[in-house]
Structure 1
Amino acid sequence: MTDEYEVATADDARLLPPGQWCLDATGTVYCLVDTHMGFPQRMAMSKGGRGFTALDNIAYPLHLADFDGECEHRWGANEMGHCRRCGQVSHDARPTHFDAEQMRVFRLAAEHNKRVAESGDPS
């Protein structure tokens, strides 16, 4: 970490508590939450809780922030119980597990995404 309000790397972000809000280097607002889509991991949840991004894929440094206001936890939750509005654990966890075929497809998609990112060619 570079200072008490700035996070320099994805490894540093993984050390923060779940439910921590931050702004990335582009000004995008995220909440760091635990997920379990096939396997447990920490991810960056976008405002409104509809999108999740791997911590390695957001722009650093992150600047720490706080959730502004009260929350009644009525927006639903992700599979680990994090409220989609405020990021706090407010619901029971229901981890999503993939079977062997789903994991094979997931890995193939990840390999394809890596090739695209490295080459810049989407085909």
Structure 2
Amino acid sequence: MTTRYTKDHEYVRVEGDTGVIGITDYAQQQLGDVVYVELPSVGKTVNKGDEAAVVESVKAASEVYAPVSGEVVAVNSELEGAPATINEDAAGRGWFMKIKLKDPAELDALMSEEQYQAFLKSIS
């Protein structure tokens, strides 16, 4: 299982031909207490870089951009009733959506775990 990261602090965890999308632990820490999540509808096609979801906290509202292109095949509807799950387990139970990958080569443009950690150090 491979996980890739964007400079906007989204992750995509690759499981076969599907990418599980969410925000990183760093992103949820910056946002503070998450109070609302707006998820896309299943069946929606998203392109890499498009707004795919919205997350709101007590501090701010923030767009979640699609790190890869594809079709939304599942959303984490549990977040609608329990958005704080993102604060508790951003990289696990706090995932936002699953996308059937249109072009797995898009993953090559994203950062590895090591590259992302180095990126975090460069911005702190």
Q: Same fold (TM over 0.5)?
A: no
Q: TM-score range by the shorter chain?
A: under 0.3
RCO (CA 8 Å, sep 6+): is it higher in 1 or 2? 2
Q: Computing the radius of gyration over CA atoms, which structure comes out larger, 1 or 2?
A: 1
Q: Calculate the TM-score normalised by the size of structure 1.
A: 0.27
Q: Calculate the TM-score normalised by the size of structure 2.
A: 0.27
